[in-house]
Every structure is written in C-alpha cells, then in structure tokens.
C-alpha cells in the first residue's frame, strides 16, 4: 500500500510539472512566432538616421541578443526540467520550471518593449506625414495674409517677413530630417516650427489695430487738436502758465515715434502702453480747452450780475441798518447787530472795488477765463454769504416782537396761576401757612412781577426776559408742587385724627398722639409733622389704616384749578 501510495503521489507530481513544462513550451513557441523580425526589417528599410537611428539600433541589438541567446538558453532550461521530471527528481524539476517561467516572463516583457519601440518609430513617421500638411497650411495662410496685406503691418512688415523666412527654414529642416529617416528629431523641429507659426500669427493679428492708431487715428486727432488750438488762440483765449500746449504736442509726437519703434521690434504691450499715454495727453488737452470755453461762458454770465448783486446787497444793508435803528428803540440788542451790518458795508465797498478791477481785466481779455472764473465765483460766494447773514439778522429782529408777545402771554399765565393758588389755599381754611411755603409763594410772586417789570421797560432786553421766563416757569411749577404737598398733608392729617378718635377712649397712646398731632396742626402749622405723628400710632393700633385712608383721599381728590 505504501509503495502504491508513493507511486500515485509521484505520478501526480510528475503530471503537474509536466503540464507546466508543456505550458512553457507553448509560451516559448508563441513568443518565437511573433513577427518581431519582420517588424525590425520593415523599419530598416526606412534608413533611419540621427536620434531615430540610435533608438532603432538599441531595439535591434536587444532583439538579436534575445533571439540568438535567450531562446537557446530557455530551450536548455526546459529540456533540463523535462529530464529531471522524467527521473522523478520532482523538487529539482519544479525549481527548474520556476526558473524557466521567470526567464520567459522577462523575455516576453523584452519582446513587448522591442515591439513597442519599433511601433513608436513607425508611428512617429506616420504622425509626421499627417501633421506636416496641417502645419504647412497654417504657415502658408499666415504668409499669404501678411504678403497680401503688407500695408496693414507698417514698419513691422520687415520683421514679419524675416520671421516667416526663419519658420520656412525650420520646415525645410523638418522635411530633410523626416525624409532621411529621423522622424523623432523631425517631430521636434516640426513642433517648434508650428509653435513659431502660431506665435507669429498672434503677433500679426494685433499689429494692424496698432498701426491704424499710429498712422490714422492719432495723427488725425493730433491735426484736429492742433487746428483747434490755433482757433482757440485766434479767439483770444489765454491758458494758465502751467499749460504749455506746444510741449505737450511735442510729447505726443515723441510717444507716437516711440510706439513705432516698439511695433517694429514686436514689443506690442509697450506699444499699447505708449498709445495710452498719447490718449491721456490728448484727453487732458481737450479738457483744458473745454474748461476754458466753459469758464468764458460762466464769466460772461456772472460778470453781468456782479454789479447788480452788489447794489442789491448794499440796498439790503442800508434797509437793515434802518431796521436795526428802529428795533433798538424798543429792544436792547445784545448781538452787536449794528456792528456786524456796518462791517458788511465795509466789506461791500472792498468787494465793489475788487469787482470793478476784475471787470476791467475781463474786458481786456488778459488772463485765462478759468482763473477769472474763480475770482468771479469768489465774489459771488462772498455776496451770497453776506445776504444770508443779512436775512438771518432781519429774521432775528422780526422775531423779537414774537418773543416779547410769547413772554407777555406767559407772564399773564403766571400771574393768573398765582391768584388761583392763593384762592385755592385760602379755601382750605387752614389755621395758617408754614413760613417756608410763604417764602416760596412770595418769592414766586416777586419773580412774576419782575418779569412784568422787565416787559414794561421802554427798551426790552429779550435775552433777560427769556431768562426770567425760564426761571419763573420753574418757580411756578415748584410752587404748584409745594401747594399740592401742603394741602394733601393737612387734609390727611385731619382725616387720620378724625379716624383715630374711635380709639381715643380705649387707648391712652392714641389719645396722647391725637393731642400732639392737633397741637402741631393748629399751633405750629406743621402739617407734615402732624401727619407723621398720628399715622405712626394709628398704624400700630390698626396696621394699614394710613395707607387705606391715603388711597381713598387721593382717589377722590378733585384736580385743582391751577393744574
């Protein structure tokens, strides 16, 4: 049984190794049958040179080594594995098979890399053949566009033609390399030629617009500006000393000349920047001329009203002086109105003298209108300020009577409130009034009389009157509050004493408190102290009684006439 089992196992291992050897043989045959030699021979017919030839030699040599040595070596290894397997040397046979499998794997990879390299060389040749026509079409189109429209490119045409010739040389170099069998290097030359063609096309596309600006637009604008400047001077205009038109026109010419040099050297970004300077200079000059034209219109319009405006303002000042004199007879003026208005008079005399001189200069047309316009604007602005101040002073004077009337009405109201307060307190039938309240009452009455006295003066000082009105308003309000407190304290003290009488016979402390409260009320006329005396004891006997009685009083209290 042991021998049989050993035999079965041996046969199984032998069969597995044999299957692997058969697979190796098949892989070897498949690899050997690949048309590598035919592909190599096809590339040889291309007669490659240069970089392409170097690459081909590397692939060809690798194939020669592989076909001459590697296949024979592999065959020996497979034969050795077969003999070991037939001799039942299974471990050594398996090792030989594994080595052969690794060897054929490397050979397969080498063959694939050789075929890929050969294919790439052939493919590059095909790509070059297909691509050359597109590149040449692009170049021919660009050359035809430039040649047929040479005038559009101005001074750049010479450099454009030179660059076209350089690109043509690159194409010739490509054709030579490609035809002599160096497709890889030829591809690099072709790519460079195509890049140069595209770049030159982008430059050529920008140049015509710059040439139009350089040769047509700006020269025309410059001529137009020059003619306009001559007409400007012919009409008698003057320019500020800071503006030298001739220098600016010369600067523009220099900018245009510099732009032409940039275009000639393909420095198009710098050419655009230079043209922007030209446009900016032209715009600035146009703005200067327009400002002077506008200034002349403004000066012409405003100069005609200066004299009338001065006369108008002087008349206002004269009338205002009369108004101040009239108002000062009835009111004390504290704002130095007379001095301010006389100051206006002096200022107007200076303005009139300056305006007369300015109008003479305007007639002589001896200065730029922009400068004259500023002086005219200054005069009109000053007259505007004077008139605004005149109107304000006049309004303030007219408002004096309104303020006096308002103060008189308030004085009458204060006087009426004093009389009402007096009658209101008298009707309360109090045994007397505290001295502090009397002092406040009489002080307030005197304040009201002082207000009447101030209002009855021949010349009323409104500032003083307004101050008295403010103070008297506070005094009357304070007196009303004091009257409310006095009457409320007295009335509540009476109500609490009357309510406390119910405990008088049964509580000696309440009886004594009523006596003290009554004494404070009748003799001392201290109604607050009387209220505090009786409320303290009453709340001890009957907690909350004071609050309850006070609430009833305030809820039923009639609003006084002075409120």
Residue 200 lies in a domain: no
pLDDT, residue 540, reads: 92
Same domain, 324 and 438: no
Q: Rounded to whole angstroms, how far apart are CA atoms 224 and 357?
A: 37
Tell the residue number behind the tokens 């001529």, with chain if given.
Answer: 223
pLDDT means per 10 residues, the chain with 563 residues, are 55 60 67 62 52 60 64 61 56 64 69 70 57 71 82 84 83 69 67 82 85 87 85 78 79 88 86 89 85 82 86 93 90 88 91 86 78 86 93 92 93 95 92 94 95 92 93 96 95 94 91 95 94 94 94 90 84
* The overall pTM is greater than 0.95: no
Q: Is residue 314 part of a domain?
A: yes
What's the total number of domains in the chain? 3
Regarding whether 384 and 246 lie in a shared domain, the answer is: yes
Specify which residues 331 forms β-bridges with. 460
In this prediction, residue 492 carries a pLDDT of 95
251 CB-near residues (< 8 Å, 6+ apart): 281
The end-to-end CA distance of the chain, in Å, is 138
Q: Of 373, 396, 419, which residue sits at a domain end?
A: 396
Do 390 and 250 lie in one domain? The reply is yes
Taking the CA of residue 476 as centre, how many other CA atoms within 13 Å lie in the half-sphere pointing to its CB?
25
The pair phi, psi for residue 512, each rounded to 5°, is -70, -40
Q: For 236, which DSSP code? A: T
Co-location of 391 and 448 in the same domain: no
Asked if residue 469 lies in contact with residue 508, where contact means CB atoms within 8 angstroms, the answer is no
Beta bridge partners of 271: none
152 DSSP assignment: G
The CA distance from 276 to 288, in Å, is 18
Do residue 485 and residue 548 come from a single domain?
yes
pLDDT at 96: 64
| Same domain? 312 vs 377 | yes
**Domain edge (last residue) among 375, 396, 417:** 396
Residue 72 lies in a domain: yes
Do 440 and 336 belong together in one domain? no
Same domain? For 474 and 380 the reply is: no
Residue 491 domain boundaries: 430-556
- Whether residues 262 and 381 share a domain: the answer is yes
Q: How many residues does the chain have?
A: 563
Residue 360 lies in a domain: yes
365 & 443 share domain = no
**What per-residue confidence (pLDDT) applies to 244?**
79
**Residue from 462, 326, 340 nearest 390 by CA:** 340
The answer to whether residues 254 and 375 belong to one domain is yes
- Rounded Cα–Cα distance for residues 168 and 355 (Å): 78
Burial of residue 510 (number of CB atoms within 10 Å: 0-12, 13-18, 19+): buried
In a domain, 414, yes or no: no
- Domain co-membership, 56 together with 122: yes
């Amino acid at each position: 049984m042991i021998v049989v089992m050993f035999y079965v196992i041996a046969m199984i291992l032998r069969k597995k190794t044999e299957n692997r050897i058969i697979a190796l043989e098949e892989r070897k045959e498949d690899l050997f049958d690949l048309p590598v030699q035919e592909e190599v021979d096809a590339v040889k017919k291309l007669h490659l040179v240069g970089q392409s030839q170097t690459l081909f030699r590397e692939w060809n040599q690798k194939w020669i080594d592989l076909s001459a040595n590697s296949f024979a070596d592999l065959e020996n290894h497979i034969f050795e594995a077969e003999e070991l397997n037939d001799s039942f040397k299974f471990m050594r046979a398996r090792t030989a098979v594994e080595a052969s499998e690794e060897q054929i794997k490397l050979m397969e990879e080498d063959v694939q890399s050789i075929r890929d390299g050969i294919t790439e060389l052939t493919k590059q040749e095909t790509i070059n053949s297909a691509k050359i026509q597109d590149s040449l079409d692009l170049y021919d189109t660009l050359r035809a566009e430039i040649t047929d429209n040479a005038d559009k490119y101005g001074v750049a045409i010479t450099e454009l033609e030179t660059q076209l010739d350089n690109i043509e040389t690159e194409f010739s170099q490509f054709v030579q390399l490609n035809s002599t069998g160096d497709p890889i290097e030829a591809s690099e030359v072709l790519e460079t030629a195509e890049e140069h063609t595209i770049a030159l096309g982008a430059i050529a596309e920008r140049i015509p617009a710059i040439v139009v600006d350089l040769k047509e637009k700006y020269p025309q604008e410059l001529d137009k500006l020059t003619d306009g400047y001559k007409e400007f001077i012919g009409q008698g205009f003057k320019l500020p000393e800071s503006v030298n038109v001739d220098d600016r026109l010369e600067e523009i010419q220099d900018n245009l000349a510099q732009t032409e040099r940039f275009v000639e050297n393909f420095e198009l970004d710098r050419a655009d920047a230079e043209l922007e300077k030209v446009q900016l200079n032209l715009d600035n000059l146009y703005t200067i001329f327009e400002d002077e034209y506008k200034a002349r219109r403004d000066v012409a319009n405003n100069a005609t009203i200066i004299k009338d405006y001065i006369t108008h303002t002087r008349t206002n000042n004269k009338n205002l002086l009369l108004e101040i004199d009239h108002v000062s007879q009835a009111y004390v003026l504290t704002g130095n109105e007379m001095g301010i208005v006389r100051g206006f008079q002096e200022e107007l005399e200076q303005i009139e003298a300056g305006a007369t001189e300015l109008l003479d200069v305007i007639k002589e047309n001896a200065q730029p209108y922009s400068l004259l316009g500023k002086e005219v604007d200054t005069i009109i602005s000053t007259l505007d300020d004077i008139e605004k101040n005149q109107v304000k002073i006049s309004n303030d004077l007219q408002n004096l009577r309104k303020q006096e009337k308002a103060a008189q009405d308030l004085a009458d109201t204060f006087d009426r409130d004093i009389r009402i307060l007096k009658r209101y307190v008298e009707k309360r039938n109090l045994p007397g009034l505290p001295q502090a309240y009397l002092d406040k009452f009489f002080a307030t009455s005197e304040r009201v009389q002082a207000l009447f006295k101030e209002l009855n003066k021949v010349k009323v000082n409104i500032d003083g009157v307004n101050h008295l009105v403010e103070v008297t308003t506070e005094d009357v309000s304070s007196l009303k509050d004091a009257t409310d407190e006095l009457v409320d304290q007295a009335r509540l003290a009476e109500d609490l004493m009357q309510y406390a009488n119910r405990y008088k016979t049964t509580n000696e402390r309440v009886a004594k408190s009523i006596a003290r409260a009554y004494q404070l009320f009748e003799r001392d006329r201290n109604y607050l102290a009387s209220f505090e005396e009786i409320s303290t004891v009453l709340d001890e006997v009957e907690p909350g009684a004071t609050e309850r009685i006070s609430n009833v009083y305030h809820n039923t209290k009639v609003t006084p006439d002075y409120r």
